[in-house]
Amino acid sequence: MKMQSNNPLLLIKLLALHSLLALSAAQDFDFFYFVQQWPGSYCDTKQGCCYPSTGKPSSDFGIHGLWPNRNDGSYPSNCDSSNPFDASKISDLTSHMQTQWPTLACPSNNGLTFWGHEWDKHGTCSESVLNQHDYFATTLSLKNEINLLQALRTAGIQPNGQKYSLSSIKTAIQQASGYTPWVECNNDLSGNSQLYQIYLCVDSSASGFIECPVFPKGSCGSSIEFPSF
């Protein structure tokens, strides 16, 4: 079909409007943080924890989330209330979710609340790249690519309640994975700084790890505990 217009200006305006609309639907982030939590450090705090209804998670890092982020450190959140979490879209992933993405919040539950929160807050901001099923499937497969606990153990860093230097923890992960992690700490009941979450970065199409364009704010102190779980 031949497009006809005897008003070229109108055509240009329509084309401009079209590309503006395309832009506004495009992604509003530059990369992802892939965040994993150490269950021992979630549980031994003032808030405490509850094991999921499926039982005590294994002594391993668990997924917290895959968070779209911008290079200036800001991030979008809760981007699409018209596409809320729908557990039926990830029914094939449930058993992997339970082992790799366990919830530790109270009251004890099956995990859907945590996963739903992560989709609604973060996942809806990357739906131009990952639909609901693929958001969770991709995050699960990222965890398989880099084994944080193994990386730390290889360097002699064990979850045994001892203190380790922050730099030795970062170096261990860098050497095993090739990527520089960000380490977030929290405090146990006695106020000791401890390894809580590890951040790695993923490119904006969620196809693989990258060096982080920017790190979150905050710091741990130079020596931190690695509690058992």
Residues lying near ligand 5GP in the complex (CB under 6 A) are found at 33, 37, 42, 64-65, 67, 69, 75, 103-105, 114, 117, 121, 216
Q: Which of 18, 96, 118, 127 is catalytic?
A: 118
Q: Which residues pair with 202 in a beta bridge?
A: 32, 209
Residue among 28 and 168 whose Cβ is closer to ligand 5GP: 28
Active-site residue flag, 133: no
Residue among 175 and 219 whose Cβ is closer to ligand 5GP: 219
Contact call for residues 61 and 37 (beta carbons, < 8 A):
yes
Q: Which of 64, 117, 145, 184 is catalytic?
A: 64
Contact call for residues 114 and 103 (beta carbons, < 8 A):
yes
Closest separation between CB of residue 114 and ligand 5GP, Å? Answer: 4
Closest separation between CB of residue 196 and ligand 5GP, Å? Answer: 9
Quick one: tokens of 192? 């000791």
Closest separation between CB of residue 54 and ligand 5GP, Å? Answer: 13
Active-site residue flag, 122: yes
Q: Which of 96, 122, 133, 145 is catalytic?
A: 122
CA distance 163 to 157: 9
Active-site residue flag, 96: no
Q: Which three-class secondary structure state does DSSP give residue 226?
A: coil
Closest separation between CB of residue 42 and ligand 5GP, Å? Answer: 6
Query: Of 152, 184, 156, 188, whose CA–CA distance to 169 is shortest?
Result: 152
CA distance readout (Å), 210 to 1, 64, 66, 197 = 45, 19, 14, 18
Residue among 65 and 159 whose Cβ is closer to ligand 5GP: 65
What is the H or E stretch that residue 120 is in? Answer: helix 112-121
Active site residues: 64, 118, 122
